[in-house]
Structure 1
């Protein structure tokens, strides 16, 4: 009889017998919760506060200071020599500086070359390596190695290649003899293209890694469906794979524009931004830390460079945030 009552009412089995003292039940903890100690909170606070303060001080404060100095004249010696001139620096920059528009043109050429030569080459290498060919890891390391090296090191390496007397190129083409020298770095008609070859050598590996990551995210069933429909390898890439790489293409475009605008190290190591290789970043440096320190004028050039960068970065960030909200 007791067994039948227990089956009909399972809670009756846990009830105390009549007249007995009620039994206190303990709740079994459903999870383990650990409270942060005072030391943990202090550590986390320092880890969050210190990088934030450094970022604000070294990035945002310096950027705002550069914007403010762009409307002044200052030789960098004492704050008493700072004088407000309004838009005079920008007027002089656009109307009286003979190096400004050539520098803008060279930055545009830098972007066009990077987007036309190393970007498709990086995509080609990524497609080949995505096929899991033999020694693919070795090839990835070899092509990505220039990206790991600093731009200064790359500049020194290519200086040896372009040396007019003992350089590799002149030695191969027989232009290392007196009277036949080709000055790849000093000739204003050649030095920009010589620097762009070195920049493209590095940029190819960068693009290869970006596209290789994008190819890993392409749904393999799309390729299988295309193969079942009888599409060839080129048709599959053109109609299936490349459209799926649209987010990667956007990242590649933004990265390439930024690389073209921030180009400095390689040119500075080559020839210090001499005639033929003027860039906006070189003009900023030469005016701020040059022989005649014109910090206000150099800051005006930096502001122009910042505005050009924001024209590219802001639309990219807006589109990215919209995609995250939709997701």
Structure 2
């Protein structure tokens, strides 16, 4: 009688790392599947490297040079005794950053305006969008119509939004001056030309759009919340306010992280509205406008503009890293 020998696979330990199991599965993939997987992973990686990481690293490197965009870069230090034209492409070290902080009058107003923009988005636009989402999620009559109306500004380009609000804030034919009886009058309020008013007028335009964007994100988060959580809170006697802040809102932590990151990015990359209004001058200086005016404007100071771009990157990373650190710390707490 023949004896059959059966090869048994060694049992996998309960705590075996998932990475080891994934590697074993990858060994059994066919050559065609491996090529498809490599393409699906490699193409997005190459696009990300080409259009995100390489330009970002190149901008950081250029911030240490004095370069006007024409000619070669070299490693010799700039000679302060020579004219700027002869010093093109030389290494300045931290001189671009020092010049921005001490000898560039538009820099600090631009930083202040960017921080005000961020504060308005965090304090007004985001809570307003969340309020819209909560009201619509309750299934009020005509909720789909309200959702479409509030989301409409998000579908429009920022340039078109600026043109639309021009008819509201215009000094000569604007809706506001017409309503208060000052249209065409010598006492008409110049909402977009007055440096004490134009920033707040443009912020109203940006908030109108940002609130609709946040509303859609929170609507998606509210739909993903387990209905049993609300039912349990209702049984325990919690009212609608307590249910939202103590049950629903903590359950939307991933959406809160996404909203905060998007809010910071949208507030610091603001460009279109202020450039359409008055090209980012006379009270509407923003870092994004200064970066553009120095790199592709008449001055052609690519190195200096790159330094301003790095400053904008660092400012945007601070609130994002703090918020992500706080959120992940809460998730790790047992």
TM-score, scaled relative to structure 2: 0.79
- Distance in 2 separating the partners of 1:223 and 1:103: 45
Partner of 2:80: none
Instruction: State the Cα deviation string for residues 249-292 of structure 1 (Å, max 9, x = none).
Output: 33222221111111111111111101211111111111111211
Give 2:59's aligned residue.
66
The match for 2:277 among 252, 257, 270 is 270
Q: 1:142 to 1:59 in 2, by over 3 A?
A: same
Is 1:164 the counterpart of 2:171? The answer is: yes
Question: Does 2:211 correspond to 1:204?
Answer: yes
1:295 pairs, out of 277, 295, 302, with 302
Matches within 5 A, 1:208-223: 208-223=215-230
Q: Secondary structure at the match of 1:120?
A: helix
Q: 1:257 aligns with which of 234, 242, 264?
A: 264
Structural mapping, 1:102-181, within 5 Å: 102-181=109-188
Q: Residue 120 of structure 2 aligns to a residue in which SS? A: helix
Q: In angstroms, what is the RMSD of aligned CA positions?
A: 2.7
Could you list the runs of 5+ residues in structure 1 that have no partner in the other structure? 1-32
Preserved CA contact (<8 Å) 2:260 2:320:
no
1:235 equivalenced with 2:242 (yes/no): yes
Task: Measure the CA separation in 1 of the matches of 2:51 and 2:119.
Answer: 32
Q: Is 113-122 or 221-230 further displaced after alignment?
A: 221-230
Q: What residue is the counterpart of 2:20 in the other structure?
A: none
Of 97, 101, 120, the match for 1:90: 97
Distance of 1:138 and 1:35 partners within structure 2: 50
Distance (whole Å) between structure 2 residues aligned to residue 47 and residue 157 of structure 1: 42
145-154 or 316-325: bigger deviation = 316-325
Deviations 1:80-123 (CA, angstroms, capped at 9, x unpaired) = 63111111111111111111111111111111111111212111
Change (3 A) 1:312 1:116: closer
Describe the shift of the 1:101–1:216 C-alpha distance in structure 2 as closer, same or farther (beyond 3 A).
same
Query: Does 1:311 find its partner at 2:304?
Result: no
Residues in 2 aligned to 1:323 and 1:272: alpha-carbon distance in whole angstroms:
43
Deviation at 1:35, TM superposition (A): 5.7
Q: CA deviation at 1:317?
A: 6.0
Identify the residue that residue 47 of structure 2 maps to in structure 1: 54
Paired residues, what number?
293
Q: For structure 2, list consecutive stretches of 5 or more residues without a partner in the other structure.
A: 1-27, 74-87
TM-score, normalised to structure 1, is 0.80
Q: CA distance change for structure 1 residues 198 and 220 in 2, over 3 Å: closer, same or farther?
A: same
Within 1, Cα distance between the matches of 2:315 and 2:223? 33
Name which of 268, 284, 292 aligns with 1:285: 292
Distance 2:48 2:256 in 1: 29
Give 1:244's aligned residue.
Answer: 251
Instruction: Give the stretch that moved more between structures: 276-285 or 160-169.
Output: 160-169
